[in-house]
Structures are given as structure tokens and as C-alpha cells.
Amino acid sequence: MSVLEHVAGNLRRLRLRDDLSQQALAEAAQVSRRMLVAIESGDANVSLNTLDRLADALGVPFAELLRADTGGEPAQVDALAWRGRDPASRGVLLSSVAAARQVELWDWTLMPGERYASQADPPGWREQLLVLAGTLTLESIDGARQVLAGQHLVFASDRGAYAYRNNGDTPLRLLRNVVY
């Protein structure tokens, strides 16, 4: 399913949740009704500014309009939200999780053979990882997963002990976003 289809479905679902007509939402978000109709049918290439206004009018975070339905689990969004004239110019929302109190951004380096182990975090904690170089092996209650350079992962770090491991022969570097 494309990001436009996710936006269309989420926008319609949230509008109906709030018992709003298309006209009422359009007025609240200061967009034309015609634009709203086109977005809900998946026919419009909508600007980030318009999505921000619609999310604000619906009282939800921007990412809520882009994400696939995951049943409440942390989600990798992987949605191309902006493209420039050159196809290599782009903005991709990788993932989003709700934060109750704080967000921490970490830069990690693990040399070959290194392992960082952690006990389960308190309830509600999530992690977003972006591997910049090397290959991460994430050990968790779900088993071991490999995340290659350029890939990202979101996981609930409150579900049990977990560890980061570098089984490769080159340094592993990753960005770690801890959200709680």
C-alpha cells in the first residue's frame, strides 16, 4: 500500500472518528474542500504543510496520517513524505512512536565482537535504531534480527531483556533514539 493510500485511509478514519464532515475538517485545517476530497481519494500529492494542518485540526501527530495500521504496536513508517526536483532529494519519515515524557538520541559504536546487553526497560519505552555502518544483530525475546547499514528498526524495549551485538569484522555505528 502506498503512502497516499495510508494518508487517505487515516484521514477518512480520523475525520469520521471525530464526526466531522469534509467541509468542517477543511475549514478547521484551512484547506479547500476539493483538496480534502482529493487527499481522501488518494489522488492528491499533498504538501507537508497541508498534512501538518490536517493533523493539527484532528488533534493527532503528523506521523499518524502516514503510518500503516499496526494495531497499536510501534511502527516503522518508511513513508516518502517529500521529494525534490532531483529524485535523490527526499524526506522519508522512518518511524514514529508516542513519547510520554522524554526522548534521548544516542550515537553508538560497537567494535567487532562487542555486545551491549540491557534488561527490559520500564513500561512504555521504545527504541528507534538507524544503522549507519556495519551490521547490527539485535537480540530480543523475539529472537535475533540483523539490521544492515542504511536500515532502521523500531522495537518495544519494555518487553524483555535485549542486546546489541556486532558479529562483523568492521565497526558498527548506529543512532539510537530512546522514547518514553
- For residue 46, the tally of other CB atoms under 10 A from its CB is 21
Instruction: Say what the pLDDT of residue 143 is.
Output: 95
pTM over 0.85: no
CATH-assigned architecture of domain 3-96:
Orthogonal Bundle (1.10)
Instruction: Say what the pLDDT of residue 134 is.
Output: 97
Instruction: Determine contact, residues 37/74, Cβ cutoff 8 Å.
Output: no
- Name the residue ranges covered by the structural domains of the chain: 3-96, 103-179
Least confident of 3-12, 90-99, 164-173: 90-99
Note the pLDDT tens digit of each residue in 13-42: 999 999 999 999 999 999 999 999 999 988
Mean pLDDT calculated for residue range 134-159: 95
120 or 95, which is more confident? 120
Q: Do domains 3-96 and 103-179 have the same CATH topology?
A: no
Note the pLDDT tens digit of each residue in 36-47: 999 998 877 777
Output the nine-digit C-alpha cell for 174. Answer: 548506529
CATH number attached to the domain at 103-179: 2.60.120.10
Enumerate residues 6+ apart whose C-beta is below 8 A from 94: 76, 77, 78, 128, 130, 152
Rounded Cα gap, residues 130 and 85, in angstroms:
26
7 or 165, which is more confident? 165
Note the pLDDT tens digit of each residue in 92-118: 777 666 677 778 888 889 999 999 988
Instruction: Determine contact, residues 139/165, Cβ cutoff 8 Å.
Output: yes
Instruction: Say what the pLDDT of residue 79 is.
Output: 67
Instruction: Say what the pLDDT of residue 19 is.
Output: 95
